[in-house]
Amino acid sequence: MEAVLFFAAAIGALGGAIGVVALRNPFYGVLALIVHLFSLAVLFLLLSSAFVAAAQVVVYAGAVMVLYAFVVAYVGGETEPIGDPIPGQKFLAPLLGAALFIELSIAVLGSSLQALDTHGPDVHAGFGDPAGIGRLLLERFLLPFEASSILLLLAAVGAVVLAARREPSEEAAGGSSEHSSEAPAERSEDPPAASFHAGGVPS
Amino acid sequence: MNIEWYVVLSSLLFAVGAMGILIRRSPIVILLCLELMLNAGNLALVAFSRMVGNQQGQVFAIVVMVVAACEVVVGLGLIVALFRRKLPLDVDALRELRG
């Protein structure tokens, strides 16, 4: 039963990953990544780590992927042009990927980890449940926990700064270098006058 | 299932993600492939945590998820900023910083 679940989830994860790489529309890539993340959550459950699986589904497949879907819908998921800028890129990249896989497998399987071909030791019933993870996170790993929360705050502030909508006058001043310096000032003067005029008409 | 199956699957997923970064040109898809690589690392962490029999690797996997969320937020902010400035969304066309 466990083997069946493992192979089903592994095929789902691998298929999702290949779908992300191969599908040319970014929106389908996002959907393939959601399949991949759900399969990984099943694998985490098989490794008896329930909390990480739940966080994977809620945080990743829920929140992060919604963010991706919004950005793809905003930017417009145009398909990439065919043709590789570096000659032979489409052949070299799978070759290098296969070499990386073989190298990683040799590195892991050739290591002297004795427990690698076992199921792992028998664990108690509460292994990987939220209580245990939370106790570890808030007692032993309190400093990394706080550091990651500060990192998250910084990333949120940085994203707001990066993606914030510029003021129209600033956009006009920064965007057009070939115009004379008079033109942006005139354009920024225009909207208040127009609104004043429009406001004046009904009265 | 033995732990080595999980580890080999994780290295396979990592290689697929790295291959995607080499092949694709859209920055959104490159971010998606980065997610693949980070998740492969997560799978290896959880598998090794099961192999050793304590939960510290799972805490590390959760920290990796936080870092991945930060990377996504900043990367998508950059993509939206590129789109606002009407720059091409193609990593081969954006070569002002190349020496």
CATH of the domain at A1: 1.20.120.1200
Average pLDDT over residues A41-46: 93
Query: What letters, b where the CB count within 10 A reaches 16 and e where it falls short, cover A32-45?
Result: bbbbbbbbbbbbbb
- pLDDT at residue A24 tops 50: yes
- pLDDT at residue A77 tops 70: no
Chain-centroid distance of CA A92 in Å reads 26
Interface contact flag, A75 B24, Cβ < 8 Å: no
Of B91, B18, B73, B84, the closest CA to residue A164 belongs to B84
- pLDDT at residue A109 tops 60: yes
What pLDDT does residue B17 have? 93
- pLDDT-derived band of residue A194, with 50, 70 and 90 as boundaries? very low
Between CA A115 and CA A168 the distance in angstroms is 62
What pLDDT does residue B93 have? 79
Per the listing, tokens 């706080």 go with A146
The structural domain count of chain B equals 1
Contacts of residue B28, Cβ cutoff 8 Å, sequence gap at least 6:
A26, A29, A68, A71, A72, A75, A77, B79, B89
Instruction: List helix spans (H) across chain A.
Output: 2-22, 26-46, 50-55, 65-75, 89-109, 130-135, 142-163, 168-175, 182-200
Residue B43 lies in a domain: yes
What pLDDT does residue A83 have? 62
What average pLDDT does the structure give for chain B?
89
Could you report the predicted ipTM of this complex, rounded to two decimals?
0.92
Chain-centroid distance of CA B49 in Å reads 20
Interface contact flag, B13 A33, Cβ < 8 Å: no
CATH of the domain at B25: 1.10.287.3510
Looking at residue A115, the DSSP 8-state letter turns out to be G
Residue B37: domain span: 3-84
Residue B59 lies in a domain: yes
Residues 122-161 of chain A with CB under 8 A from chain B are: 123, 127-128, 132-133, 136-137, 140-141, 144-145, 148-149, 151-152, 154-156, 158-161
Average pLDDT over residues A5-11: 93
What pLDDT does residue A191 have? 45
Which chain B residue is nearest to residue A149, measuring alpha carbons? Answer: B66
